[in-house]
Amino acid sequence: MIVDLPNTTTSKISKALVRIREEGGAVALGRVLTLIIASTMGREEEAIEAANDASREHPMRVIVLSTMDQDRAEPLAARVDAEIRVGGDAGASEVIVLRAYGDAASDPESLVTGLLLPDAPVVAWWPGVAPTVPAESPLGRIAHRRITDASAQPDPQSALHNLSSSYRPGDTDFAWTRLTLWRAQLAAVLDQPPFQPVTAVQVTGAADSPSTTLLAAWLALQLQVSVDYEFTTGPLSHGIRSVQLTRAAGVISLEREVPAVARLTQPGQPVQDLTLKRRSLRDCLSDELRRLDPDELYGEVITRGLPHLDDVIVEQNEG
């Protein structure tokens, strides 16, 4: 069910929510958090769909704050239009879509504060362009967790370095979340004999893949070795391509040449084909909603591993 509330206020939206619950039996009981999605008009639906799917694991209230693209030149009268989606249109959540025009979009915190679930954690998510310092943005200040996506920024690699300098506990990025399966597979391989130190690492991936850079930074931090990473180009170049770990016994290679399947090659063992899919938006969101405390490992990688990786590259270039 979708209820339209044109030219409305937060107070009217709250009253409409109460009325919907009384008339239709939709309740907020069991909601574990409030998810705020900051988007631009016309680009909300993919994020809403991901949130609806994730809500089956994490029942929540979803508040979508949608504003006009900043490049729009002509001024608009201040107005807020709203939609309330419940039932089949909202998964296991209730979705409130706020479309703010003109000066009504200048104070996003006041627009959402009255709609937050009481005594429940708040997660802010920017599926598109994110603030320069998420934790200091109006929505970031009221959130326990803040989710960005470096791959959605105009320059993904520069976005990573901005995340490094602006990091605050509670920040995370989907470029990191997409590494979960790669990190798990590499950790499993190194947990098997022979237990020899890794002496060299090579990582390759697409030039627009911030996950490739973060994977290299994680490996450099965890293994305490120099990591050689390079970007590939071409029609099939997408995401992380391969990782090679060199030990005394030989080279371990995990390479994904086709979508969803990676080939694992280890000295003295048969070649294995492993399922290694690119993670969907829903998978990434569900993962991040499982924990509402700061991701300390991500913080270490983005603030220590990434700068260390850059220092090594500079030294190599100067040498």
Q: Tell me, yes or no, whether 220 and 128 share the same domain.
A: no
Residue 285 lies in a domain: no
Q: Tell me, yes or no, whether 158 and 189 share the same domain.
A: no
Coil, strand, or helix at residue 279? coil
Residue 303 lies in a domain: no
Q: Tell me, yes or no, whether 189 and 166 share the same domain.
A: no
10 Å CB burial of residue 269 (0-12, 13-18, 19+) is exposed
Q: Tell me, yes or no, whether 187 and 256 share the same domain.
A: yes
**Domain finish residue from 117, 152, 173:** 173
Q: Tell me, yes or no, whether 42 and 164 share the same domain.
A: yes
**Domain finish residue from 150, 173, 196:** 173
**pLDDT for the residue 256:** 93
Coil, strand, or helix at residue 291? coil
Residue 295 CA to residue 60 CA, distance in Å, equals: 21
**pLDDT for the residue 207:** 85
Residue 316 lies in a domain: no
Coil, strand, or helix at residue 200? strand
**Domain finish residue from 173, 192, 211:** 173
Residue 203 CA to residue 128 CA, distance in Å, equals: 27
Q: Tell me, yes or no, whether 82 and 116 share the same domain.
A: yes
Q: Tell me, yes or no, whether 49 and 71 share the same domain.
A: yes
Residue 78 lies in a domain: yes
Residue 205 lies in a domain: yes
Q: Tell me, yes or no, whether 202 and 164 share the same domain.
A: no
Q: Tell me, yes or no, whether 140 and 42 share the same domain.
A: yes
Q: Tell me, yes or no, whether 20 and 101 share the same domain.
A: yes
**Domain coverage including residue 88:** 2-173
Q: Tell me, yes or no, whether 106 and 61 share the same domain.
A: yes
pLDDT in tens, the chain (319 residues): 889 999 999 999 999 988 887 776 555 456 889 999 999 998 999 999 999 999 988 899 999 999 987 655 467 789 999 999 988 766 767 899 999 999 999 999 999 999 999 999 999 999 999 999 999 999 999 999 999 999 999 999 999 999 999 999 999 999 999 999 999 999 999 998 888 999 999 999 998 899 999 999 999 999 999 899 888 876 555 789 999 999 999 999 999 988 889 999 999 999 999 999 989 999 999 999 998 999 999 999 999 999 988 665 434 444 4
Residue 130 lies in a domain: yes
Residue 218 lies in a domain: yes
Residue 298 lies in a domain: no
Tally of domains in the chain: 2
Q: Tell me, yes or no, whether 27 and 134 share the same domain.
A: yes
**pLDDT for the residue 234:** 63
